[in-house]
Chains A and B, each alone.
Chain A
């Protein structure tokens, strides 16, 4: 095979330049700005600012609310990731076995993918509305008086349900295509060796799905962390009150609603560090156990 070489050593850098400049302008520069302003307390209109050292960080970390928000974010991220991956896998396995009318099943399961997060949030709000929500009426039949916006648990439940519902189709599409690429010969060989479909799934199919699963795991954690913003905003109706919110939503609340630029920057720096650590863990620990064919 013939290797292609660039004539000038600068050409590859030139070709990379658009991508690199986008990263620099839209990611690195704002991140550096955030790090800088996390050490200042600034008047919103930009007339004055005071260097406060690490005050923004200590104020954030010692505030009574931050721990609660962080705990909710952890619970929210884990439940959304686990439930949306688990349910999507279950649906994909079942849909893969359907022979008649397969495409209509698949379309029905996938259409939600096209719904924008704030719209999903809005549908969630309507379903769980205190006064007119059908889900509230449904749960009331079992004696559960849901009060979204009043009861912390009920509101969390509505948020997680809506976020999971919104994310299942993405996972479903990936799992389904993953399942369809598992080769027939491997499956046939497995069914000769083992009668139990359940065991065959866990010992043969599931490991073969691992690359897809790992990719989806990262996508889903990112989704639960950052992309659920619209859903949360619509469910809390722009009034945090005593409702559960995630760390990202709190950055927005303090920065854009409360105009506390320093405090908000400090929180986003903490968030950056957390995502950085999470990424290292994911690639160091989990990816080692994933086999790519």
Chain B
């Protein structure tokens, strides 16, 4: 099936190549992305759909590896003057590319300059400001937007006679029953994203000074209070009691035991939905990321993860017009709905969300709506997102120290002290790269 699809898309691509050489007037633009596997196929479908829909522009998607590799390739190409028109940059790289004033044409500007209307209110809540600057101007066009949610193995829950937890308190009550039923109750795939960044958002807690870093990189410092430290103390306790499974930093290593039916509940990305529904053999469902009821003001929405598309500067106007028209195509409700259905990433506009609802998609697959509903939960002061430089390394520091907590090499106190020290040093270094 997949093979036939690949052949079909190859034939389609060949046919398109043929037409593009014939219609010499088309402007070529390139799009570097990090979507491998099934996601990459859908990206090619979107590009083909755009190329078929109009004659003026021709977009070519190029797969550049992981998120980190794609960003590095984009930076190297930019410095050599060979940058693509559109570069996909992930959440942790946002500060790097937005901080480089002049590398990017803001999504809002490129759309307005091309005479295409733009209204930030068209975008759903959790998506709106994550890739915006501190004035609220949208710089990156949100593309694959996901949020961490809790996937549950329905067989496991039934066997243990429990329901999916809404809060961590409820989890503590049901976890021993799941263990008795022969499961590892819980696993997760990304400690910095799920148990740090979105932990902060879910509990409406400050993550960094300077308005979570949005107001500038100078003197931005990480903020870790009691709630997150208590959380990690609990997680370590769960691990020791066999209520939590930790299989390393790799995403897949932690998802595999859930897919195999050994782990009863798994915290992953709403974008994992498409893959899971094709892989697992048990009935599964999904629910919101749990929170600690004991933390005051908890239960707020999360913000997006995933990546956005950035229009690189230094390109001729006609190519920028093509980027604008591609953005317009990409954000149309039909394309967003298709992307949402095929991959599980959330639709980024209200119109696309309405379309999915009207189509009855969530009546047949209610779990697909969890991500977007969580993103549109009431927000608070600290649920917009964060903006920090050298953040890839800060995440690496977190992963290292969290690994030490879980393997018993470091206490929670010590680990967080190291994260603060090393993280703040990186932030300080980043603020000097701007050269002022």
Contact = CB atoms under 8 A, between A and B. Distances in A.
Contact of B247 (A149, A240, A242): A149
B409 interface: yes
Nearest to B401: A242
Interface string A44-71: 1111111010010001000111000000
A13 to B, nearest CB: 33
Given A47-B102, A48-B435, A263 B404 contact: no
Given A41-B432, A43-B434, A241-B400, A149 B248 contact: yes
B249 A149 contact: yes
A152 B407 CA distance: 9
A257 interface: yes
A152 B260 CA distance: 26
Interface stretch (B332-340, B351-359, B417-425): B417-425
B406 interface: yes
B100 A147 contact: no
Given A42-B433, A151-B407, A47 B100 contact: yes
Contacts of A262: 429, 433
A236 B97 CA distance: 27
Interface in B352-402: 390, 392-393, 396-397, 399-402
Interface in B11-46: none
Interface stretch (B54-62, B72-80, B125-133, B145-153): B72-80
A108 B84 CA distance: 48
A45 B390 contact: no
A50 B79 contact: no
B75 A59 contact: no
A41 B426 CA distance: 11
Contact of A50 (B401, B425, B435): B435
Contact of B429 (A41, A237, A238): A41
Nearest to A238: B66
- Give the one of B72, B97, B429 with max A CB within 10 A: B429
B123 interface: no
Interface of B: 66, 68, 71-72, 75, 78-79, 96-97, 99-103, 246-250, 253, 256-257, 260, 390, 392-393, 396-397, 399-404, 406-407, 409, 418, 421-422, 425-426, 429, 432-436
5 contacts: A46-B78, A131-B260, A149-B250, A150-B407, A240-B396
